[in-house]
Amino acid sequence: MPESIEVLDMLGRVVKIQKPIQRIVSLVPSQTEFLYEIGLKDKIVGQTVFCIHPKSHFKKSKKIGGTKKVRFDELDELKPDFILCNKEENNEEIVEILSEKYPVWVSDIKNIDDAFYMMRSIGEIMDAESETESLLKNIESSLSQKKIRHQYSCLYLVWRNPYMAVGTDTFINHMLERSGFINLVKHSRYPELSAEDMQALNPEVILLSSEPYPFKEKHMEELQNLLPNSKILTVDGELFSWYGSRLLNSQPYFNELQRQLHKIKR
């Protein structure tokens, strides 16, 4: 029998849900991958063009736009009974528009504890508690395998023209701290930095994220000329910023980064 319940999302919003949930739309790549991981692939009726994992399901999935440019008419055709959003990935206007028609659950992720809370909450809503707990146990085991050779001061860049860096109050900043990096940027969110700003910070390491900006070899050379004493690496942005089941792969990757940096002479 259908059951009507009320739950709180991570913004403290009351979300009314009709269970069992049969038709999910996810507008958050990290959370989409998590849904697949806990066995809900048959209930996912729509996702964004950025929900690229798992790759085995991406080509055949129904895409309804991007995280910030949703094709509402196509989404309506899917008749979802549950929509997943995120405070950072999806703007407030999208959440408000969708909430007029559908149950919309919004996450707000700043650290590992938030990520675990999100996964447990969704697992409970979807009646997939055992699958979720099994996944979280494996993530905890993986994250515990920390091998920090050295604490590096760093800049983590996500954009160019203008240069934009990761600041405080972000999940990426939390992951940097976990993986042996000291973020020199003390502004919140994603501040713009001039060449002079970066020179004044004088980081030991510059990390160039693989997303959203496609940094190339020429950009590394540009930055190396600007900061000749810094070690520069292009890094997998997903493993710093995705807060769902991809966390299984983050710590082994961070350990490998530490090994690579240890070998670079500057």
* Residue range 212-248, pLDDT digits in tens: 999 999 999 999 999 999 999 999 999 999 999 999 9
Q: Which residues contact 228 (CB under 8 A, 6 or more apart)?
A: none
Specify the pLDDT at position 266.
63
Per the listing, tokens 């992951």 go with 175
Q: What is the CA 257 to chain-centroid distance, rounded?
A: 19
Confidence of residue 1 (pLDDT cuts 50, 70, 90): low
264 has pLDDT over 90: no
Within a 13 Å sphere around the CA of 154, how many CA atoms are in the beta-carbon half? 31
Note the pLDDT tens digit of each residue in 141-186.
999 998 888 899 999 999 999 999 999 999 999 999 999 999 999 9
Average pLDDT, the chain: 95
Query: What are the pLDDT digits (tens) for 177-199?
Result: 999 999 999 999 999 999 999 99
Q: Is 43 helix (H, G, I), strand (E, B) or coil?
A: helix
Query: Is it true that 3-142 and 152-263 share their CATH fold?
Result: yes
CATH H-level, domain 152-263: superfamily: Nitrogenase molybdenum iron protein domain (3.40.50.1980)
Fold that domain 3-142 belongs to in CATH: Rossmann fold (3.40.50)
Domain boundaries, given as residue ranges, for the chain: 3-142, 152-263
